[in-house]
A and B are shown apart, each in its own frame.
Chain A
Amino acid sequence: MYPRPIPQTAVGLRRAYMVLVIAILVLWLAPLFAILLTSARSTSDIAAGNLWGWPTQFGLIDNYVGVFTQTPMARFFANSLLITVPAVVFVLALSTLAGFVLSKYPFRGSMLVFAIFIGGNFLPAQIMMIPVRDLMVRLGLYDTTWALIVFHTAFQTGFATLFMRNFIAALPKELFEAARAEGASPTQILIHVVLPLVRPALAALAILLFTFIWNDYFWAVVLTLSDTVKPVTAGLANLRGQYVSAWNVISAATVIVAVPPVAMFFLMQRHFIAGLTMGAVKG
């Protein structure tokens, strides 16, 4: 039997494996735990150097309220949403359209277009930094949320198109032929046949894109200056400069910033349905 079931392998090996797993898990989760712990500490504890011990007093509520009262985090948070949500929607729309055409309606040069979509992913951000900033300045978008929306839409669409094209290409060819034979236009095929069947792919892609764009720090720093447009990532970095001692508040802000991607995951989870194309074709 291959692979061999784990209970059949040597006991020593199994124990070593468990120890290793736990060790990695602890290492991995320690920073997260530290942040959670710090976000519950009072300022006096931190000033006294009590970073790992039992807190003398809990500042949990004070810290989390402080994030919104003492810092401009609420503004950054709103900015992030205003950047991330439109960018994700635009990327999903564009990549589905491009993926549909590239997978089902080949034309002369379509492979080249596809190759450019993929190739764009390999351009290092550092190389594009100055040109993209100049471009945004000339477009009059520099230091607006649109700069980040446009940039992320443009540069995530390459990867997303690769993802969607491959997913749509894997749908049974007969479904498209059947729809075409029944007189459905390409737009009708896209809406009534493709979209319902690529829902799991769109959900997975939405989570990925949301996380990428939400967590982006580099472009947030390059393309924004003022607090009124900064997203949370750049905002958090600012916070550290201004409130050097308030690690508890910064930790609380960090935890708040981490919430939306997690929420996004649970929101999209119900769309992960295995075997959506089951029953379409024999086999």
Chain B
Amino acid sequence: MSSLQLRNIEKNYGNYHALRGINLDVAPGEFIVMVGPSGCGKSTLLKSIAGLEPITSGTMIINGRDVTRAEPGERGIAMVFQSYALYPHMSVAENMGFGLRMAKRPKPEIDAAVARAAKILRLTDQLDKLPRQLSGGQRQRVAIGRAITRAPEVFLFDEPLSNLDAALRTQMRVELSTLHAELGATMVYVTHDQVEAMTMASRIVVLNQGRIEQVGSPLDLYRNPDNFFVAGFLGAPRMNFFEASVVALEEGWVRVSNPGAGVFSIALRPGARLEVGDTVKVGVRPEAFHLAEEDDGLAASVRLVEHLGRETIVYADATPLLSVGSDTGTSNVTIHLPDIVGLAAGASIRIAFDPDQAYLFGGPDDQTLSPPKASAI
């Protein structure tokens, strides 16, 4: 169980800035999940921590020791790869004991470490098999076992579950969370899967274009995103956004106008600077919408309904609500209803949202301007 500190990590590939000024403090025993879109630098950052990619500048400290220039093997890290990266010619036991064998540790110690890891991962019966004789889930467990036998200061996971099928992924997610609780080890985990991030993380690190956008607990990030990017990145289905213009400013409130949604007031966080005429972005989570009465809310026509059993997701066109960065392409508003709704494509509905549940983004970096919302827990 060890701490990890990253100080001003920079990484350039020629003129391309892969990592820009990364600062992060990981406390002993934390499960840090790094998320971000493709090419945001999350895997590069993980490989930099592992020492597999050199960094341009900055400092890395593991358990109080400066490891910036250390070889991967000297850093006290163990890495689990997306593709498992098992040595195909070695048995499961040999794979798991490889690191200790390379370090020329005595055989009894290696055998004990392998047996212990195998027991934790329920691989005791598979120790003599070759990787090609195992299923995908077993292979990934061997890769994790290989990390455990080395008893590292920090575990690094590079999208370890993305090669597994959906059912196995859910199972391994739970197993990994359990493993983390059992070992109490410090783990850094890279994924593009929101569910993994939300369910496993002590804290989530959202990366974008080589920068950390926000760090925080999953619920905190979901409830109180710092900016437009984080708000749009976390949450599935994605938050709805539309542009509005500022028509009036009051103490702690702003009145905004949108051709579809009309004029409404949103609370403003202290110190937020806005002027009448500014364009802002309003964000509304799909679950913050509800079906409204005849004369309330705004008109929309249903494009597609997804019945998930207990809940319903409605993709609709709310005209003339101008949306920003819609990811469904065809519809501009997504509504997540907590029950079964008898709607079909083509139906005309009216939808409304509570402005207290809406987010306001503006300014040069699309910062969140609405006040923090109380966390659910």
Name the distance in Å between A178's Cβ and chain B's nearest Cβ. Answer: 4
Give the residue of A172, A183, A188, A280 whose beta carbon is less than 8 angstroms from that of B74.
A183
Does A208 sit within 8 A of B, measured CB to CB? Answer: no
Q: B214-236: which residues lie under 8 A (CB-CB) from chain A?
A: none
Bound state CA distance, A278 and B224, in angstroms?
46
Does B139 sit within 8 A of A, measured CB to CB? Answer: yes
B interface footprint on A163-200 (CB within 8 Å = 1, 0 otherwise): 00000000010110111111111001000110011000
Contacts of B103 in A (CB 8 A): 183
- Contact across chains for A178 and B88 when beta carbons are under 8 A apart: no
Contacts of A182 in B (CB 8 A): 73, 78, 98-99, 102, 146, 150
With A177-B52, A182-B150 in contact, is A278–B102 under 8 Å at CB?
no
Nearest-CB residue, chain B, relative to A281: B83
Does B310 sit within 8 A of A, measured CB to CB? Answer: no
- Contact across chains for B132 and A278 when beta carbons are under 8 A apart: yes
Bound state CA distance, A141 and B135, in angstroms?
58
Bound state CA distance, A254 and B163, in angstroms?
57
Does B353 sit within 8 A of A, measured CB to CB? Answer: no
Give the residue of A179, A192, A276 whose beta carbon is less than 8 angstroms from that of B88.
A276
Does A12 sit within 8 A of B, measured CB to CB? Answer: no
- Contact across chains for A183 and B73 when beta carbons are under 8 A apart: yes
Contacts of B51 in A (CB 8 A): 181
Q: Give the residue among A178, A179, A280 with the most B Cβ atoms within 10 A.
A: A178
Does A283 sit within 8 A of B, measured CB to CB? Answer: yes
With A182-B99, A183-B102 in contact, is A280–B87 under 8 Å at CB?
yes
- Contact across chains for A279 and B102 when beta carbons are under 8 A apart: no
- Contact across chains for A282 and B84 when beta carbons are under 8 A apart: yes
B interface footprint on A37-66 (CB within 8 Å = 1, 0 otherwise): 000000000000000000000000000000
Contacts of B102 in A (CB 8 A): 179, 182-185, 188, 192
A interface footprint on B90-103 (CB within 8 Å = 1, 0 otherwise): 00000000110011
- Contact across chains for B78 and A283 when beta carbons are under 8 A apart: no
Number of interface residues of A (CB under 8 A): 26
- Contact across chains for B89 and A196 when beta carbons are under 8 A apart: yes
Contacts of A184 in B (CB 8 A): 73, 98-99, 102
Does B341 sit within 8 A of A, measured CB to CB? Answer: no
- Contact across chains for A280 and B88 when beta carbons are under 8 A apart: yes
Does A277 sit within 8 A of B, measured CB to CB? Answer: yes
Contacts of A279 in B (CB 8 A): 86, 88, 130-134, 139
Bound state CA distance, A196 and B98, in angstroms?
14
Name the distance in Å between A280's Cβ and chain B's nearest Cβ. Answer: 4
- Contact across chains for B81 and A177 when beta carbons are under 8 A apart: yes
Bound state CA distance, A177 and B50, in angstroms?
10
- Contact across chains for B73 and A180 when beta carbons are under 8 A apart: yes
Contacts of A185 in B (CB 8 A): 102
Give the residue of B71, B83, B131, B132 whose beta carbon is less than 8 angstroms from that of A174.
B83
- Contact across chains for A175 and B50 when beta carbons are under 8 A apart: no
- Contact across chains for B85 and A175 when beta carbons are under 8 A apart: yes
Give the residue of B47, B79, B89 whose beta carbon is less than 8 angstroms from that of A276.
B89
Bound state CA distance, A275 and B133, in angstroms?
13
Contacts of B134 in A (CB 8 A): 279
With A178-B79, A279-B130 in contact, is A192–B85 under 8 Å at CB?
no
Contacts of A178 in B (CB 8 A): 79, 81, 85, 87, 146
- Contact across chains for B89 and A181 when beta carbons are under 8 A apart: no
Q: A262-283: which residues lie under 8 A (CB-CB) from chain B?
A: 275-283
With A174-B83, A175-B85, A184-B73 in contact, is A192–B52 under 8 Å at CB?
no
- Contact across chains for A280 and B99 when beta carbons are under 8 A apart: no
Contacts of B78 in A (CB 8 A): 181-182
Q: A228-283: which residues lie under 8 A (CB-CB) from chain B?
A: 275-283
Nearest-CB residue, chain A, relative to B101: A192
- Contact across chains for B73 and A283 when beta carbons are under 8 A apart: no
Contacts of A188 in B (CB 8 A): 102
Contacts of A183 in B (CB 8 A): 71-74, 99, 102-103
Bound state CA distance, A166 and B81, in angstroms?
24
Does B77 sit within 8 A of A, measured CB to CB? Answer: yes
Bound state CA distance, A151 and B126, in angstroms?
50
Does B29 sit within 8 A of A, measured CB to CB? Answer: no
Bound state CA distance, A193 and B86, in angstroms?
10
Name the distance in Å between B146's Cβ and chain A's nearest Cβ. Answer: 7
- Contact across chains for A280 and B85 when beta carbons are under 8 A apart: yes
Does B355 sit within 8 A of A, measured CB to CB? Answer: no
Bound state CA distance, A181 and B155, in angstroms?
11
With A174-B85, A183-B74 in contact, is A282–B136 under 8 Å at CB?
yes
Nearest-CB residue, chain A, relative to B130: A279
Which residues of chain B have a CB within 8 Å of any CB of chain A?
Answer: 47, 50-52, 71-74, 77-79, 81-89, 98-99, 102-103, 130-134, 136, 139, 146, 150, 163
Q: List 6 A-B contacts (CB under 8 A).
A: A181-B51, A182-B73, A182-B99, A183-B99, A188-B102, A282-B136
Other than the known A192-B98, A197-B88, what 6 A-B pairs have Cβ atoms closer than 8 Å? A175-B85, A177-B47, A181-B52, A181-B78, A182-B146, A192-B102
